[in-house]
Each structure stands twice: as structure tokens, then as C-alpha cells.
């Protein structure tokens, strides 16, 4: 997958990107911690609906601007499709968060970039080079280390998280296509709208009147998640993906510590080992993509500046 063309930014900008991504990781770990705390008190689809409904409120100033400008039918269709796909992924993620350890959810979620790599080859015609195939196979091996099929029973929570990863990858690929024509802020704002609409039927079907306590926590989830998307955008604008991507893997460290210290979850060595293999695979492909992109931008010797 192509990387941002910002390799020539000053060192200060690179450190800013790392800082923004560190903040992003903490924001998203806060999201997982709150959702884990709520657990199954609120049905997964309902909890996701409330969270995204608050997200719409937070993004409403940007939405008003977009409505004044209008949008093409093509963009509307892409936003709708992305909203439906992302909605299904979010429901599965909320379901998994209530049933399996935080570290396990985080580790399995790291397989998403691998699906993005495959999708970029299928839908954007990007070459599926040997390095990408190796990374895909390594990440698959990491997932098998976590799940250990045949040695332990694969739980419904694990299956839910396994299914959410490719759905989030499809959402990312649609966003990638939209970003070529739409502003990043609008893409994030429209995601909140269409995910809320996509989740609504599932939420209505399973609706249970939530307590004000749970609603308040879900509102806080929306605040952390929206802030996380903002800081992630700042990080990607400030530094190359090969710099910021490895920083995101610290989320596994934060998630493991949060699960152990706050929720009393045991540190599973197989989850950490499998997560490490997946992290290594994604880091390798990020680095190789950067090397290839940099070589493509370097003029041959003898050509004047």
C-alpha cells in the first residue's frame, strides 16, 4: 500500500508525528478499556449505536459545512457502503470486547493491515510482491499462535474479532478511495453518520433501555474515539507511515497492562507471542514499502537537480 509522500519533512515534524501517534494509542486504549468496563450490560449493537450517535453530535459542525457544499451521488454511495461495512465491524468488535481479554482483541485486530494489503492488490491493482505475501503468511501464523486451533476451543468472541478485522480493512480501502476526492475531516464526519444509520436496525432489534451511567460512559467513548481519529490524522500528516505505524503497536503493551492491572486479566504468553509475530510482519511490510517508495522518488545518478 502506498505511503504518504512526506519523507523530506524535518526531524521536528517526525518527532511530532511520533508524539501524535503515542497520544492516538492512549486514546484508543481508553476506548477499549471503557467498552470492556461496560461489558455485556448493554447489547453490542446498542452500545455501538449510542457511541456513534454521540460521534455525530461531535462532528456536526463539519457535517453542516459538507451539507452546504453538497456531494456527488458517487461519493454518497461510497459513504453508504463504508458505513454499512464499518457498522458490522464495530458491532463485532463491541461483542468481542465484552467476551475476550483486551490484549487478545488488540492483537487479533493487528491483522487488519494484512487484509488491507490484499485488498489493495485486488481493488487498486497494486502488485502483490513477494514481501507482501511473506508478511501475509507471517501475520496468519501469528493469528494461529493466538488462537491455537486444535489445542484450545476457539471462542465466539475470538471469531467475532477475526471477522471484524477484514471488515475494518474494507472500510479503510473505501476511505482511501474517498480521500483522493474528499477532505479527511469530511471522511471522518460522514463515517459517524453512516455507521450510526447502519447500526440503527441492529440496535433497535436488540434494544434494552440503558442506564444513564452506561450512556455517560459511551459518550466518553465517543469523545476519546473522535479525538483519537483527529490525533491519528495529525500524526500521518506530520510523519511517514513507516515511522508512525510501529508506534501504534505500543497499544498491545498498553492494552495488556490495562487488562492485567484494571481487569485482572492474565497475561497470555501466546497472545503476546502471536501479537509480536503480527507486529513484526506489519513492521516489515511498512519498512519495505517505504524503501520502495523512496527508491522510486530518488533520481538516477547524473541527473541534475
pLDDT in tens, 254-267: 888 888 888 888 87
Place of cell 453542516: 64
With bands split at pLDDT 50, 70 and 90, how would you rate the model's confidence at 50? very high
Mean pLDDT value across residues 112-119: 78
With bands split at pLDDT 50, 70 and 90, how would you rate the model's confidence at 292? low
Q: Is the pLDDT assigned to residue 296 strictly greater than 80?
A: no
Using alpha carbons, select from 280, 1, 297 the residue that is nearest to residue 129: 1
Q: What is the pLDDT of residue 172?
A: 83
Using alpha carbons, select from 158, 172, 160 the residue that is nearest to residue 114: 172
- For the stretch 126-165, pLDDT in tens is 666 777 777 777 877 887 887 776 666 778 998 999 999 9
What is the SS3 string spanning 189-226? HHHHHHHHHHHHHHHHHCCCCCCHHHHHHHHHHHHHHH
Phi, psi of 265 (to 5 degrees): -80, 135
Q: Is the pLDDT assigned to residue 304 strictly greater than 70?
A: no
Cα dihedral sign, 191-193-199-201: negative
Q: What is the pLDDT of residue 243?
A: 65
Q: Is the pLDDT assigned to residue 7 strictly greater than 60?
A: no
- Distance CA(12)–CA(23), nearest Å, equals 17
The reply to whether 5 falls in a domain is no
Place of cell 475531516: 185
- Distance CA(21)–CA(246), nearest Å, equals 10
Cα–Cα distances in angstroms (integers) from residue 66 to residues 59, 185, 188, 237, 288, in the given order? 11, 10, 12, 22, 37
Q: What is the pTM of this model?
A: 0.77
Q: What is the pLDDT of residue 76?
A: 86
The reply to whether 108 falls in a domain is yes
Mean pLDDT value across residues 104-117: 81
Domain with 111, as residue range(s), is: 11-296
- For the stretch 238-257, pLDDT in tens is 776 666 666 777 787 888 88
Most confident among 23-27, 107-111, 229-233 (mean pLDDT): 23-27
Mean pLDDT value across residues 272-283: 80
Q: Is the pLDDT assigned to residue 213 strictly greater than 80?
A: yes
Angle between helices 269-297 and 102-109 (to 10 degrees): 30
- Distance CA(165)–CA(111), nearest Å, equals 6
Most confident among 88-92, 168-172, 181-185 (mean pLDDT): 88-92
With bands split at pLDDT 50, 70 and 90, how would you rate the model's confidence at 303? very low
- Distance CA(207)–CA(115), nearest Å, equals 32
Counting the structural domains of the chain, the total is 1
Most confident among 83-87, 108-112, 225-229, 254-258 (mean pLDDT): 83-87
Average pLDDT of the chain to the nearest whole number: 80
CB distance 174 to 95 below 8 Å: no
- Distance CA(37)–CA(45), nearest Å, equals 16
Q: How many CB atoms lie within 10 A of CB 291?
A: 12
Mean pLDDT value across residues 177-204: 85
With bands split at pLDDT 50, 70 and 90, how would you rate the model's confidence at 235? confident
Q: Is the pLDDT assigned to residue 299 strictly greater than 80?
A: no
The reply to whether 71 falls in a domain is yes
Q: What is the pLDDT of residue 277?
A: 83
Residue with the larger pLDDT of the pair 10 and 64: 64
Q: Is the pLDDT assigned to residue 34 strictly greater than 80?
A: yes
The reply to whether 301 falls in a domain is no
The reply to whether 305 falls in a domain is no
Return the SS3 of 305. coil
Q: Is the pLDDT assigned to residue 4 strictly greater than 50?
A: no
> Across the strands, what pairs with 149?
152
- Distance CA(33)–CA(38), nearest Å, equals 9
Amino acid at each position: 500500500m502506498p505511503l504518504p509522500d512526506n519523507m523530506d519533512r524535518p526531524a521536528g515534524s517526525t518527532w511530532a508525528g511520533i508524539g501524535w501517534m503515542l497520544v492516538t494509542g492512549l486514546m484508543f486504549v481508553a476506548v477499549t478499556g471503557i467498552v470492556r468496563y461496560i461489558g455485556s450490560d448493554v447489547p453490542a449493537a446498542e452500545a455501538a449505536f449510542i457511541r456513534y450517535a454521540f460521534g455525530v453530535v461531535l462532528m456536526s459542525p463539519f457535517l453542516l459545512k459538507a451539507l452546504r457544499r453538497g456531494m456527488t451521488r458517487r461519493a454518497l454511495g461510497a459513504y453508504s457502503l463504508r458505513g454499512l461495512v464499518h457498522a458490522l465491524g464495530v458491532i463485532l468488535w463491541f461483542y468481542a470486547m465484552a467476551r475476550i481479554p483486551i490484549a487478545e482483541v488488540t492483537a487479533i485486530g493487528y491483522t487488519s493491515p494484512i487484509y488491507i494489503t490484499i485488498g489493495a492488490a485486488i481493488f487498486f491493482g497494486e502488485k502483490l510482491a513477494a514481501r507482501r505475501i511473506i508478511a501475509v503468511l507471517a501475520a496468519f501464523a501469528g493469528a494461529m499462535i493466538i488462537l491455537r486451533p486444535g489445542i484450545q476451543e476457539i471462542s465466539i468472541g475470538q471469531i467475532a474479532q477475526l471477522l471484524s478485522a477484514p471488515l475494518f480493512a474494507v472500510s479503510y480501502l473505501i476511505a482511501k478511495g474517498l480521500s483522493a476526492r474528499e477532505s479527511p475531516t469530511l471522511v471522518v464526519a460522514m463515517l459517524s453518520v453512516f455507521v450510526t444509520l447502519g447500526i440503527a436496525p441492529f440496535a433497535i432489534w436488540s434494544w434494552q433501555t440503558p442506564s444513564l451511567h452506561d450512556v455517560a460512559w459511551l459518550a466518553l467513548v465517543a469523545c476519546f474515539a473522535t479525538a483519537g481519529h483527529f490525533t491519528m490524522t495529525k500524526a500521518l500528516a506530520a510523519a511517514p507511515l513507516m515511522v508512525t505505524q510501529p508506534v501504534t503497536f505500543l497499544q498491545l503493551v498498553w492494552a495488556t497492562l490495562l487488562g492485567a492491572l484494571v481487569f485482572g486479566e492474565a497475561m497470555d504468553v501466546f497472545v503476546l507471542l502471536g501479537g509480536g509475530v503480527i507486529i513484526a510482519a506489519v513492521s516489515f511490510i511498512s519498512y519495505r514499502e517505504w524503501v520502495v517508495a523512496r527508491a522510486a522518488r530518488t533520481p538516477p545518478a547524473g541527473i541534475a537537480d
